Structure 1
Amino acid sequence: MTKIKNFAELAYLLGLIILALGVALMEKADLGISMVVAPAYLISLKVSSLTFGMAEYTLQAVLLVVLFLVLRRFKLSYCFSFVTAVIYGVILDSWIRILNDVAADALSIRIPLYLAGMLLCSMGISLLFHTYLSPEVYELFVKEVSKKYHININKFKIGYDCTSCVVAIAMSYLFFGGLRGVGIGTVICALVNGIIIGQCSKFLEKYIDFSPKLPLAKYFD
């Protein structure tokens, strides 16, 4: 079977666009935001001057510092993940504005929105895992820490997601005295997101060659 070739750069662009759309759909469904972005979402609800996208790249800047401490090394290429986070944040806020007028009151609409959002998030993350260009700090953290400590990336992703879910629940009670932005959808996503990403990766690798088209890979080693 002939594969689509030299897809690395397109995987980066499509990954960001698809991931941001998935998060925006889950936010619109209001059944529980993805656990990975839930802390940033709660911060945006608490601090009115921050949009969801702005809270995302602010929190990812903090996580990037944590990554440097965990790996005990500094790589300039890692800093491009913050650039990616800013681009993603702008795209996310744009999708949220586009979906603003979409009516999602009925559960019969919210459930499909949630399911589509979760699938798109998994697909977007899988695409970002397959590009040499710096992914968001969330994905970079999972990718680099699992590689350093020789942990299966999909299993580590599940553990990371579950930890993010617990942190989000704690933040929700601390900020609002109850659950906000965190729901049954968050728990479901935490349990199955890593599995779906693994299946998406198998599907993509069957049809796509993720080798680079541009001579930029050496700058991201």
Structure 2
Amino acid sequence: MDKKITIPGEVSFVAGLLLVSFAISLMVIAGFGISTISSLPYVLSCIFNQISFGIWNPVFQIGLLVVLLAITKRFKSGYMISIVLSVLFGMILDFFVHTLAGLPTEFWQRLLYFIAGYPLMCVAIALMVGSKIPLMIIDTFLNDLTIFFHVTYRRIKTLFDIICVVLSVLLSMAFLGHLEGVGIGTVILACITGLGVHVVNTALSKVIVIKPWSSKLGGMVK
């Protein structure tokens, strides 16, 4: 059996962060709808366009952290890293959205962007979750609520996705008069992203081992 390659968790997370930002940017240009998690910040950026899509992401996530703290009344040191990572994610996302803004937008090209974005997003999520370092606020929010309420992650994630989509639709129709960020692509991603991440995780686990350089990072999320 071939020896597996060891990749630092910090490298894995940064690679995932870059890939997911790029994938989301492609899906924004595709215009078929983006992931449920990104839909609400995107709609807010369309309504209050003085603030960019990238900046709305950490604003949204920090809001989730406030809600989490109000519910659990427990602060973890890893939350500070999560805040920094969320801000970094927003900056990278704005960079890619701006950089890719000039891409051609014929129907077949937009379809290609969406199709390419899906596997990139799955790989990105697998790398970020597998990094074993403090996750983005949104991941921490879902994980900690799962533990606090003693329910399955799937139940919390499903409820969260529904709330995000409903709010996105309501805000879009109320302020813009049409749907933004939510479409057939959103439904497709909600149905198949979990499967895609599982497939990528299985494939990656056969060839690589992800381990953080710093042993303290893993303990910060506990």
The answer to whether TM tops 0.5 is: yes
**Residues 39 and 167, structure 1, Cα contact 8 Å, conserved in 2:** yes
Query: Which residue of 1 is the match for residue 16 of structure 2?
Result: 15
CA distance in structure 1 between the aligned counterparts of 2:152 and 2:206, rounded to whole angstroms = 20
Q: 1:75 corresponds to which residue?
A: 76
Deviation at 1:25, TM superposition (A): 0.4
Name the CA distance, whole Å, in 2 between partners of 1:170 and 1:134: 32
RMSD in angstroms over aligned alpha carbons? 2.1
Identity of aligned residues (%): 28
Identify the residue that residue 65 of structure 1 maps to in structure 2: 66
Deviations 1:120-168 (A, max 9, x none): 2222122111123222212222233334455554665455334422332
Q: What's 2:165 paired with?
A: 165
Distance in 2 of aligned mates of 1:177 and 1:99: 26
1:191–1:158 distance in 2 versus 1, CA, 3 Å: farther
Equivalent AA in structure 1 for residue 12 of structure 2: A
1:37 counterpart residue number? 38
TM-score by length of 2: 0.89
What are the within-5 Å matches in structure 2 for residues 134-213 of structure 1? 134-149=134-149, 151-153=151-153, 156-213=156-213
Q: Contact (CA 8 Å) 2:134, 2:218: kept in 1 or not?
A: no
3-state SS of 1:2 partner: coil
Moved more, 60-69 or 117-126: 117-126
* 3-state SS of paired residue (2:102): coil
Q: Structure 1 residue 38: deviation in Å? A: 0.7
- Corresponding residue number in structure 2 for 1:4: 5
Which string of whole-angstrom CA distances, capped at 9 and with x for unpartnered residues, describes residues 17-51 of structure 1? 00100100000101112211111011111112101
Contact 1:162 1:190 in 2 (8 A): no
Cα distance in structure 2, aligned partners of 1:200 and 1:147: 25
Q: Is the CA contact (8 Å cut-off) linking 2:76 and 2:220 kept in structure 1?
A: no
Change (3 A) 1:59 1:97: same
Maintained 8 Å contact 1:154/1:198: no
Distance in 2 between residues matched to 1:4 and 1:17, nearest whole Å: 21
Query: Which consecutive residues of structure 2, in runs of 5 or more, have no partner in the other structure?
Result: none
Distance change >3 Å, CA 218–CA 144, structure 1 → 2: same
Contact 2:119/2:196 (8 A) holds in 1? yes
- Counterpart-to-counterpart distance in 2, 1:159 and 1:197: 20
Gap change, CA 1:148 and 1:123, over 3 Å in 2: farther
Q: Which digits, 9 at most, give the CA deviation of each residue in 1:158-194, with x for residues without a partner?
A: 5533442233222212222321221111111122222
Tell me the TM-score normalised to structure 1 length. Answer: 0.89
Q: 1:171 to 1:165 in 2, by over 3 A?
A: same
Identify if the C-alpha distance between structure 1 residues 218 and 191 changes in structure 2 by more than 3 Å, giving closer, same or farther.
Answer: closer
Aligned residues: 220
Aligned residue for 1:98, secondary structure, equals: helix
